[in-house]
Amino acid sequence: LGKVDENIDLLVEFAHEVDVLYNYTKKDTQSLIRDKLVAYYAKEVIVFAKKERITNKVANFPIEISRFGFKKTLLQLETMGHASLRIKDSMPIKTLEQNYIVDLELDKSYRFDDLEFNVKEIPGVLETGIFINIADRIYSVENKTVKTIADFMK
């Protein structure tokens, strides 16, 4: 990851899900807080996603939560779907900031912006894997062909 205090000219992301409004989610991370800061301060953000991952609604995504009170945070997230800590070798995986990552599989689909707002209202939630209004360009990939999202939507 780049350093936020330095100029970041270009960030290339590989998204889990994208929408036509240039919002996206990502799942693979070592720190959603760092990912979000780097993406926000990059001069240009280019995102790639598989064609089948173009959607209007979010189905599942990661959330970075505080270790303090994490069980209560998990209970609140469970009201939206199945929330589970990422585990490795029987221990919760810690982010670079020593927080936990939760994978949330939603009971129903939500719009990207609604979901980002609702989840961040839960005490203990530090950051989400939902990136709203950050991408400058999004490209979709299908059978080794790269096109803009607009081209795939025709």
pLDDT tens digits, 61-76: 999 999 999 999 999 9
Pairing between strand 44-50 and 137-142?
A: parallel
Would the pLDDT of 27 be above 70? yes
- Is residue 49 a contact partner of residue 18, using CB atoms and an 8 Å limit? yes
pLDDT at 152 over 80: no
- The residue ranking higher by pLDDT, 55 or 83, is 83
The answer on pLDDT for 24 being more than 80 is yes
Q: Which of 2-11, 38-47, 86-95 has the lowest mean pLDDT?
A: 2-11
- Give the pLDDT mean for 4-9: 82
Would you tell me how many other CB atoms lie within 10 Å of the CB of residue 66? Answer: 16
Which tokens in the block code for residue 138?
């999004």
| Mean pLDDT, the chain, integer | 90
Which runs of consecutive H residues, i.e. helices, occur in 42-134? 70-77, 112-120
The C-alpha atoms of residue 38 and residue 48 are separated, in whole angstroms, by: 17
Nearest to 124 by CA among 106, 107, 101, 105: 101
Q: What is the pLDDT of residue 56?
A: 80
Which residue did the predictor score with more confidence, 154 or 34? 34
Residue corresponding to tokens 């959603």: 32
Straight-line distance from the first to the last Cα atom of the chain, in angstroms, rounded to the nearest whole number: 35
Residues 95-115 pLDDT 10s: 999 999 999 999 888 888 888
- Please give the pLDDT value at position 84: 96
1: confidence class by pLDDT, cuts 50, 70, 90: very low
